[in-house]
């Protein structure tokens, strides 16, 4: 793909992330894709990626993400973002660097790098009995 096409597709995908529809989300990936949401373990395969998003959406709501920078070189796209979520009634915002690799118009690798401790410090403690 041309760099401009890769950027356009990445922007559309980021919008889809906020909607958190597992089928729409998974539709952006190749069957053999890998999603590494570092610091967690990589998730391999479209169906596992769909299930991971579905489970995550049960515990947090994605809010619009702030895309600060986006650059591309053909099928490779890099983003600097602030991802926003609502978790247990609190706004959680996490700076993130993301790398997307496309094959035939689909994501076959997505790697995000962010600080888990920064995320955890913003999440309110669970209330007993919740």
pLDDT averaged per 10 residues, the chain (length 130): 95 96 97 96 98 95 97 98 96 98 98 96 81
* pLDDT on residue 23: 96
* pLDDT on residue 127: 73
* pLDDT on residue 129: 65
Structure tokens at 86: 């609502």
The one catalytic residue among 23, 75, 112, 115 = 112
* pLDDT on residue 37: 94
* pLDDT on residue 126: 81
**Paired residues of 100 in beta bridges:** 77, 110
Residue 21: active-site member: no
The one catalytic residue among 23, 75, 83, 104 = 83
* pLDDT on residue 130: 57
Tokens 């600097």 sit at which residue?
A: 80
pTM of the model: 0.92
Residue 73: active-site member: no
* pLDDT on residue 105: 96
Q: Which fold has domain 3-114?
A: Nuclear Transport Factor 2; Chain: A, (3.10.450)
Query: CA-to-CA distance for 107 and 20, rounded, in angstroms?
Result: 16
Judge contact between 98 and 78, C-beta under 8 A: yes
* pLDDT on residue 11: 98
Cα 113 off chain centre by: 10
């Amino acid at each position: 793909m041309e760099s401009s096409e890769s950027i356009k597709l990445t922007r559309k995908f980021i919008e889809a992330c906020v909607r958190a529809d597992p089928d729409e989300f998974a539709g952006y990936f190749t069957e053999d894709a890998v999603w590494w949401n570092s610091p967690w373990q990589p998730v391999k395969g479209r169906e596992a990626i769909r299930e991971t998003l579905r489970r995550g959406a049960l515990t947090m709501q994605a809010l619009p993400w702030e895309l600060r920078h986006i650059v591309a070189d053909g099928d490779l796209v890099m983003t600097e973002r602030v991802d926003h979520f609502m978790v247990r009634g609190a706004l959680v915002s996490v700076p993130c660097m993301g790398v997307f690799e496309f094959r035939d118009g689909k994501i076959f690798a997505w790697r995000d790098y962010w600080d888990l401790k920064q995320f955890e410090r913003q999440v309110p403690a669970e209330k007993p009995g919740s």
